[in-house]
Amino acid sequence: MNSYLDYTVGADLADTSAPGGPIEQRWDQRRFEARLVNPANRRGRTVIVVGTGLAGGAAGATLAEQGYHVVQFCFQDSPRRAHSIAAQGGINAAKNYRNDGDSVRRLFYDTVKGGDFRSRESNVHRLAQISVEIIDQCVAQGVPFAREYGGLLDTRSFGGVQVSRTFYARGQTGQQLLLGAYQALSRQIAAGGVEMHARTEMLDLVVIDGRARGIVARDLVTGRISTHLADAVVLATGGYGNVFYLSTNAKNSNTTAIWRAHRRGAHFANPCFTQIHPTCIPRSGDHQSKLTLMSESLRNDGRIWVPSAPGDTRAPADIPEAERDYYLERTYPAFGNLVPRDIASRAAKTVCDEGRGVGPGGQGVYLDFADAIQRLGRAAVEAKYGNLFEMYQRITAEDPYRVPMRIYPAIHYTMGGLWVDYDLQTTLPGLFAIGEANFSDHGANRLGASALMQGLADGYFVLPATLNDYLARLPSAPVAADHPEIAQVEREVTERLAALLAVNGDRTPDSFHRELGELLWDHCGMARSDAGLRKALARIPQLREEFWRRIKVPGTGEELNQSLEKANRLVDHLELAELMCLDALHRTESCGGHFRTESRTADGEAARRDEEFSYAAAWEFAGPGSPPVLHREQLVFDHVQPTQRSYA
C-alpha cells in the first residue's frame, strides 16, 4: 500500500516555555521572566508579519507601537479585507458584567470542555484572562459594540453556554473588530512603523542556521519574486478550511504559508481537527463556489426536520405533521435543536445519507419557523432574525416566512494548525504562528465567539510579549542578502511556478480543487472511517500526479495571474490533504469535530479515548512523499477533569 501510511513516531514534544506554578499566575510569571529589548534598539529589529486579520493586524500594529520595524504582507488588495471580517456572532470575554456567575475560571473551563479536552490548559487559561483586556482595548479603539440604553455594553449568550458573555456588534462583530485592528495598523503604516505589502503573497520561508529569517513572496500584480529578511517571522495566515474547496472561508484563504513553513521544519498539529458548522445555506448546484453561513442563533427558534420517509419529494407544506421527523428533538430531548455544532451537523448528515434530505441533491434539512411565527407573531420573528431571513432570501429566492429554510453543514473553521508552545513559537526557532494558523487553544472543537477572542489575544497581547523575549535573546546578526540559502529558496519558488505554467494540460485548477474537496468531504468530513480514510489516502497521490500532468495555467508568471495563484495554492492543499487524512486515520477515537465511525458509545455518540489519545499530534515533515514523523505532546489536566459530553 501507500508507504505514506507508515509514519514513524518520534520523541514526545513538550511545551517548555510555560512556567509552572499556579495556573492563574503563569502568564504574569512568563511576562516577568521574558527578557525585554531596549526601546532604543527596537527600530533596528525587523519582524515580518504575514496576514492582516485579527491576529496579524493586531500584532503588526502593536509591535510597531512598541518600536519594532514591522514588514507586513497580505494577498488582498487592502489589509482591511482579511477573512476575519466575515465573523458574525461575537467575541467572548469573562467580564461578568451581567453578574451571572461568569469568571475567568469559568471561561477557561468552558473552553477546555468545549474543545473536548484536547487543548493545553496553560494556554486556554491565559486566553480567558486576556479576554477581559481585549474588550477594553477594542472599546478604546472605537469599535461600536451593541449597547444598552444606559450606555453600557450589551452581551448575549451563545453556543449553549450558561452565561451571557458574548459581546457583539449586530451580526458584524468580526468586521468591526477587524476594522479596529486595521485602523490601528493603518496609523502605524502612515507613521512608518509598518512597511505594508498588499497584494503580495508569501510563497516560502527562509530558514538560515536553523532559524526563520525571512520569506519569499510574490507581488501578485507584477509577478516579481522577492525575499524579505527579518529577525523573526510571524504567520497569521488563518486556517486551511479551503482544502475542502467548498467552505465558509473566503475564496482566497489558503494553506500555503503554514504548509511551506511545515515543509521547512515547523510541526503541524492536529490537522484533522476541523469544525463543521450546522447552519449553512445548502449548495444549489455544481457551480457553487463557496458556502454561506447563517448565524447559529436561528436554532433558538427554528425547528429542524426532514420527511419521515426516504425519497419524499412533496413540498414541505404538503407533508403532514405525522410524516415529519423532528430528529434532533426526538434523539436529544434535553437539548433538542440546540445541541452543539458537531452533533447537529452529524445528525443532518445521517438523515441525508438515509435518503431523507431535502432540496437539490437531497443535501439539506428544513429549519422551520412556522411554529415560532405562530407563537411569537411574524413581527417578533422579523425583529429577531430579519436580516438573516433577508440574506437567505437574497441567496435562495425563497421566503423563509412562508417556506421552511433549507440548511446543511459546511466546513467552517480548522482547530489544527502549526504546533506552538506557550510563547506561540513553532518548533522552528524564530517562526511564530498566531490566530487560526496555530493549533493552540480550541482543542478538538471551538466554541462559538471564541475565534475572535483568540485571534486578538494572540495579536494584541501574547505575541508582543513573547516575541520580545525571543528577540532579546537573539543576537542581532543581519543575514547577508547574498546568502546562498536565499537564492536557493527563490529558485525553488520560481521553478515551482514555472513548472505549473509549463504543464499546459487540459484541466483547470478549480476542477482539481473541486475533486479534492469532494474526496475530503466524503472521507475526512463529518464522519470518518478507517476504510474511507484509506481510500482517500490512496486517491490523493494519484490526484496529485494527475494534477502535475494535466493542469492548465494560462498566461505568464510576470503579471496578475489568478489562475497561477489558484494552482500554486492547490499544490499545497494537495499535500496537506494527505496529512489530514493520515492524522484522522491514526486518531482512532472520536473527539470534538473529529468523528470516527468506529469509536462510538452504545447509543451511537462520539466516544473519546483519553487513555490513548490525550495528546496533540504534531507531525514533522520528513521529505516530499515520505511518511511524516509523529511527535506527541501529552496533555495534562490538573484543573479540569475530562468528562464525556452528554446532551441527551
Q: Which is nearer to another protein, 166 or 614 (CB)?
A: 166
Edge-to-edge strand list for the sheet holding 69-73 = 194-197, 69-73, 46-50, 232-235, 431-433
Nearest residue (CB) to another protein, 191 versus 531? 191
Give the CA radius of gyration of the chain.
24
Position among 562, 597, 634, 644 found at the interface with another protein (CB under 8 A)? 562
Q: Does 141 contact another protein by CB under 8 A?
A: yes
DSSP annotation of 606? B
**Which residue among 284, 350, 494, 588 contacts another protein (CB under 8 A)?**
284
**147 is a site residue for another protein (CB under 8 A):** yes
Interface with another protein by CB under 8 A: which range of 56-64, 255-263, 366-374, 609-617? 56-64
Task: Find all residues with CB under 8 Å of 314, minimum gap 6, and list them.
Answer: 307
Is there a contact between 615 and 632 (Cβ–Cβ < 8 Å)?
yes
Task: Please select the residue that binds another protein; options are 21, 22, 44, 142, rule is CB under 8 A.
Answer: 142
Of the candidate residues 6, 148, 482, 638, the single one contacting another protein (CB under 8 A): 148
Ramachandran angles phi, psi of 550, nearest 5° = -120, 0
**Could you tell me the smallest distance in angstroms from the CB atom of residue 86 to another protein?**
5
Contact 372, 327 (CB under 8 A): no
**Which one, 201 or 578, has the nearer CB to another protein?**
201
Q: Of the candidates 250, 352, 358, 520, which one interacts with another protein according to CB under 8 A?
A: 250
> Is 323 in contact with 277 (CB distance < 8 Å)?
no
Closest contact distance (angstroms) between CB of 491 and another protein is 27
Could you say which DSSP state residue 311 is in?
A: T
Helices (H) and strands (E) in the chain, counts: 18, 21
Element (H, E) at 313: none
Distances in Å between the Cα of 438 and the Cα atoms of 70, 257, 323, 464, 472 are 20, 12, 46, 16, 23
Catalytic residue, chosen from 81, 283, 341, 528, is 341
Q: Determine, following the binding rule CB under 8 A, whether residue 126 of this chain makes contact with another protein.
A: no
In 3D, which of 341, 340, 317, 337 has the Cα closest to residue 328? 337
Using CA atoms, how far apart are residues 144 and 173, in angstroms rounded to an integer? 9
Single residue of 72, 172, 173, 468 touching another protein by CB under 8 A: 172
C-alpha cell of residue 411 = 466546513
Q: Active-site residue 446, yes or no?
A: no
Task: State which of positions 207-236 bind another protein (CB under 8 A).
Answer: 221
Question: In the complex with another protein, which residue's Cβ is closer, 169 or 233?
Answer: 169
Looking at the Cβ atoms of 254 and 426, the one nearer to another protein is 254
Our CB check for another protein shows the closer of 13 and 567 to be 567
- Report if residue 559 touches another protein, rule: CB under 8 A: yes
28 counts as binding another protein under rule CB under 8 A: no
In the complex, least distance from residue 418 CB atom to another protein, rounded to whole angstroms: 23
**DSSP-derived 3-state class of residue 212:** strand
CA distance linking residue 565 with residue 118, whole number of Å:
35
Task: For residue 323, give the 3-state DSSP assignment.
Answer: helix
Please list, in sequence order, all residues whose beta carbon lies within 8 angstroms of the beta carbon of residue 162, skipping any fewer than 6 positions away. none
Q: Footprint of another protein on residues 379-398 (CB under 8 A)?
A: 394-397
Q: Is 198 in the site for another protein (CB under 8 A)?
A: yes
Cβ neighbours of residue 302 closer than 8 Å, sequence gap 6 or more: 337, 367, 368, 369, 372, 405
Nearer to another protein among residue 506 and residue 530 (C-beta): 506
- Nearest CA to 127 among 456, 470, 592, 466? 456
Closer residue to another protein (CB): 80 or 596? 80
Q: Which listed residue (98, 105, 187, 535) binds another protein by CB under 8 A?
A: 187
Q: Is 136 in the site for another protein (CB under 8 A)?
A: yes
CB atoms within 10 A of CB 10: 16
Site for another protein in 336-355 (CB under 8 A): none
Estimate the crossing angle of helix 104-114 against helix 121-140, to 10 degrees. Answer: 120
Instruction: Tell me if 78 contacts another protein by CB under 8 A.
Output: yes
Interaction between residue 73 and another protein (CB under 8 A): no
CB of 91 to another protein, least distance (A): 12
Residue 439 CB, shortest distance to another protein, in Å, is: 24
Q: Is 169 in the site for another protein (CB under 8 A)?
A: yes
Please state, in angstroms and rounded to a whole number, the distance separating the CA atoms of residues 403 and 646: 33
The one-letter code for the residue type at 415 is: M
Q: Does 155 bind another protein (CB under 8 A)?
A: no
The least distance separating another protein from the CB of residue 573, rounded to whole angstroms, comes to: 17
Q: In three state form, how does the secondary structure of 418-472 look?
A: ECCCCCCECCCCCEEECHHHECCCCCCCCCCCCHHHHHHHHHHHHHHHHHHHHHH
- Give the range of 42-50, 490-498, 505-513, 536-544 binding another protein by CB under 8 A: 505-513
- 33 near 22, Cβ under 8 Å? no
Does residue 137 interact with another protein by CB under 8 A? Answer: yes
**According to the binding rule CB under 8 A, does residue 43 interact with another protein?**
no
Q: Does 424 bind another protein (CB under 8 A)?
A: no
Measured from the CB atom, is 17 or 248 closer to another protein? 248
Task: Please report how close the Cβ of residue 188 comes to another protein at its closest, in angstroms.
Answer: 9
Q: Select from 140-148, 377-385, 409-417, 446-454 the region that touches another protein (CB under 8 A).
A: 140-148
Residues belonging to the active site? 341
